[in-house]
């Protein structure tokens, strides 16, 4: 392990990976040490600590460093560092840890990745971090939400000795470490490289912006997207990387490179921009593009942006000289129709027509299979996005029936299944109450707790079917609103979720009493019987309500088919 490795690009680089002999020594000694299993965020942080992406850090921050970083954006050495990188653990895990302890850091499979030489165990001051780093205590801010809801109370600081980098099996050729990227720049003769940070797919506006930046500077371009953790709800990185690979082919030959950054973003706006610049310098870049609202999480509940659109540029401008990486500020690029070109918004004369497509509009076009114009995104990128977001008629969905025993759920579900099979194109699975109780939940009874477990299991199976493009028809009683909503939240983002309330009144069900269960329930032979001795919470969020007194099963199934057609789930494929 070399503490500081001087490289031709980007200044000194910390390298905390030990040699094979020391690794063996540490493995042998680790039998006596406590272990901590790293969270996905901590795995990302560890990777950049070990590979030098977070230079000059050589471990997780101790309390003094944590406070100084929060309050002054500096390390105790005086060097600029805007974002706390602390290792948070549970109080149980912290028990027995003190200065001088060793803590083995492991991945979720139990592989030891590094050893922390503990120098400090302290309480994580979340309020300080929220106020100073994020500038807000608002839990709608994704970074603040993570801080309060997903980090532990105790932090452990100390230097690291790394045994190996976390295993990453996707795109190994594109995951270059800082040292490797510096070597590659040197080999290619890239003395000037401008980095572009992104967590979104790249459209024409981004392409034109990066091309312009590189040309103006007569520099090479590094497309350096974050593939660690981004804002919750962002497009998955597999799709994004395929899009970047498509965009790459449009730059002049031998002037642009794609490399992936395993960073866990905090969405901290201005401070994060400074952090991103330091990281890119470590990766050997000389310039860094900062656009509008860099690393910002958007607006709060009241529609007020958390950070001003150019706050990030201002903060980095104050520090770029000290950092030794030059900022390349950019205004938003807009498409000027009459000139068929992209231009910075502040350079377009008044009255000239500009076009843009918002994220919401793009999602609508994808869901409805509407064309995405080539002035907005390269056709190959549009094709990648369409592959990951097929129109609704090719997505999976779940039809979830709920209603009393004997309400007619199974009969309608059976007719619906047949009609959907007639249409063809997607596999259909029927998860009827009785089928599930026999095959998935045979050990469960009818207490609220057991019914909730039963519905969660059905929801899980339905979510897998929906995710993989199939149709799940579920027909349990599902008497409780909360767990029905839980299932909706699980399934809806993966395709469609349609709740059908079979609203046959209890008197009618009892009168029919096909299985003789109501008579038994009245006689007290069956306990906790829904509608008789157990509650049924009438859904207020059902997409469809069916009254079996007025409709036959065929008519009910047909009304569901028409609803699915209206919503775009069935139709031209
Ligand atoms: S739940 O509440 O959604 O978990 O119920 P579900 O899995 O749909 O199971 C309901 C079927 O089990 C039979 N059965 C009972 N229902 C309600 N309450 C009690 N106590 C009960 N005991 C047995 C009944 O036949 C239900 O079938 P369906 O098809 O709904 O008539």
pTM: 0.84
Question: Chain centroid to CA 257: how far?
Answer: 25
Residue 8 pLDDT > 80, yes or no?
Answer: no
pLDDT for position 542: 98
Query: pLDDT tens-digit profile of 300-325?
Result: 999 999 999 999 999 999 999 999 99
Residue 238 pLDDT > 50, yes or no?
Answer: yes
Place 7 in a pLDDT band, splitting at 50, 70 and 90.
very low
Give percent above pLDDT 90 in the chain.
93
pLDDT for position 360: 86
Place 332 in a pLDDT band, splitting at 50, 70 and 90.
confident
Tokens of 402: 């709920």
Using the atom order of ligand 1, give the atom closest to the CA of residue 433: 8
565-573 mean pLDDT: 84
**C-alpha span between 172 and 175 (Å, rounded):** 5
Residue 63 pLDDT > 80, yes or no?
Answer: yes
Phi, psi angle pair for 300, to nearest 5°: -80, -175
| For ligand 1, mutation pick of 403, 406, 432, 433 (most atoms within 8 Å of CB) | 433
pLDDT for position 521: 97
Residue 11 pLDDT > 80, yes or no?
Answer: no
> Which residues face 197 on adjacent strands?
224
Place 1 in a pLDDT band, splitting at 50, 70 and 90.
low
**C-alpha span between 240 and 250 (Å, rounded):** 16
181-204 mean pLDDT: 97
Closest CA to 371 of 345, 398, 343, 391: 391
Mean per-residue pLDDT of the chain: 95
pLDDT for position 367: 84
pLDDT for position 3: 42
**C-alpha span between 561 and 549 (Å, rounded):** 19
Residue 33 pLDDT > 80, yes or no?
Answer: yes
- How far is it between the farthest Cα atoms of the chain? 88
> Do residues 1 and 25 touch, judged by C-beta distance below 8 A?
no
| For ligand 1, mutation pick of 401, 413, 446 (most atoms within 8 Å of CB) | 446
Go through the chain and tell me how many residues it has: 573
Residue 234 pLDDT > 70, yes or no?
Answer: yes
Give percent above pLDDT 70 in the chain.
98
73-77 mean pLDDT: 97
**C-alpha span between 441 and 443 (Å, rounded):** 5
pLDDT for position 434: 86
Place 571 in a pLDDT band, splitting at 50, 70 and 90.
confident
209-218 mean pLDDT: 96
**CB-CB neighbours of 21 under 10 Å:** 8
Question: Helix/strand/coil (H, E, C) string of 400-451?
Answer: EEECCCCCCHHHHHHHHHHHHHHHCCCCEEEEEHHHHHHHCCCCCCCCHHHH
Task: Report CA(52)–ligand 1 centroid distance (Å).
Answer: 59
Task: Report CA(535)–ligand 1 centroid distance (Å).
Answer: 12
- What DSSP assignment string belongs to 241-282? HHHHHHHHTTSPTTSEEE--B--B----HHHHHHHHHHHHHH
pLDDT for position 572: 62
Residue 573 pLDDT > 60, yes or no?
Answer: no
Ligand 1 interacting residues, C-beta cut-off 6 A: 405-406, 410, 433-434, 436-437, 446, 451, 454-455, 476-479, 515, 517, 526, 528-530, 534
**C-alpha span between 573 and 559 (Å, rounded):** 20
5 vs 296: which has the higher pLDDT: 296
pLDDT for position 6: 41
Query: pLDDT tens-digit profile of 131-152?
Result: 999 999 999 999 999 999 999 9
Tokens of 176: 């270059």
> Do residues 113 and 166 touch, judged by C-beta distance below 8 A?
yes
pLDDT for position 535: 98
Residue 130 pLDDT > 70, yes or no?
Answer: yes
Q: Supply the residues annotated as catalytic.
A: 198-200
Closest CA to 50 of 162, 169, 157, 180: 162
């Amino acid at each position: 392990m070399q503490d500081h490795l001087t490289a031709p690009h980007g200044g000194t680089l910390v390298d905390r990976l030990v040699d094979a002999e020391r690794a063996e020594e540490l493995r042998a000694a680790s039998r006596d040490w406590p272990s901590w299993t790293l969270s996905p965020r901590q795995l990302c942080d560890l990777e950049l600590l070990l590979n030098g992406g977070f230079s000059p850090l050589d471990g997780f921050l101790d309390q003094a460093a944590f406070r100084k970083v929060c309050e002054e954006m500096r390390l105790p050495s005086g060097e600029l560092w805007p974002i706390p990188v602390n290792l948070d653990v549970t109080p149980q895990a912290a028990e027995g840890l003190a200065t001088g302890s060793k803590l083995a850091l492991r991945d979720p499979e139990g592989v030891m990745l590094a050893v922390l030489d503990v120098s400090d165990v302290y309480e994580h001051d979340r309020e300080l971090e929220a106020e100073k780093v994020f500038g807000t205590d608002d839990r709608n801010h994704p970074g603040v939400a993570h801080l309060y809801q997903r980090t532990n109370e105790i932090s452990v600081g100390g230097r690291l000795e790394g045994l190996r980098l976390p295993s990453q099996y996707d795109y190994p050729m594109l995951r270059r470490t800082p040292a490797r990227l510096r070597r590659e720049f040197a080999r290619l003769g890239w003395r000037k490289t401008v980095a572009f940070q992104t967590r979104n797919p790249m459209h024409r506006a981004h392409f034109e912006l990066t091309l312009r930046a590189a040309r103006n500077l007569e520099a090479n371009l590094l497309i350096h997207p974050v593939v660690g953790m981004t804002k919750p709800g962002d497009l998955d990185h597999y799709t994004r990387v395929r899009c970047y690979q498509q965009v790459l082919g449009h730059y002049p030959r031998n002037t642009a490179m794609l490399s992936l950054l395993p960073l866990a973003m905090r969405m901290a706006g201005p401070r994060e921009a400074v952090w991103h610049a330091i990281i890119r310098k470590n990766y050997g870049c000389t310039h860094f593009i900062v656009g509008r609202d860099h690393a910002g999480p958007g607006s709060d509940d009241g529609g007020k942006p958390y950070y001003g659109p150019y706050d990030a540029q201002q903060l980095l401008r104050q520090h770029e000289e000290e950092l030794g990486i030059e900022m390349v500020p950019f205004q938003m690029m807009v498409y000027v129709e009459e000139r068929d070109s992209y231009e910075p918004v502040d350079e377009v004369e008044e009255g000239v027509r500009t076009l843009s497509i918002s994220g919401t509009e793009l999602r609508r076009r994808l869901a409805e299979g509407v064309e995405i114009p080539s002035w907005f995104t390269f056709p190959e990128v549009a094709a990648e996005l369409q592959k990951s977001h097929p129109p609704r008629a090719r997505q999976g969905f779940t039809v979830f029936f709920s209603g009393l025993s004997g309400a007619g759920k199974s009969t309608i579900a059976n007719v619906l299944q047949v009609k959907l099979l007639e249409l063809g194109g997607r596999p259909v699975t029927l998860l009827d109450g009785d089928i599930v109780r026999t095959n998935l939940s045979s050990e469960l009874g009818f207490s609220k707790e057991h019914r909730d477990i039963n519905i969660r299991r059905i929801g899980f199976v339905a979510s897998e079917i929906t995710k993989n493009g199939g149709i799940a028809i579920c027909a349990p009683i599902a008497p409780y609103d909360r767990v029905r909503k839980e299932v909706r939240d699980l399934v809806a983002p993966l395709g469609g979720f349609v709740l059908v309330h079979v609203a046959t009144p209890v008197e009618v069900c009892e009168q029919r009493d096909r299985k003789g269960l109501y008579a038994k329930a009245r006689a007290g032979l069956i306990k906790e019987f829904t509608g008789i001795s157990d509650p049924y919470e009438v859904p207020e969020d059902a997409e469809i309500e069916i009254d079996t007194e007025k409709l036959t099963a065929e008519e009910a199934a047909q009304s569901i088919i028409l609803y699915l057609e209206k919503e775009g789930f069935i139709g031209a494929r």
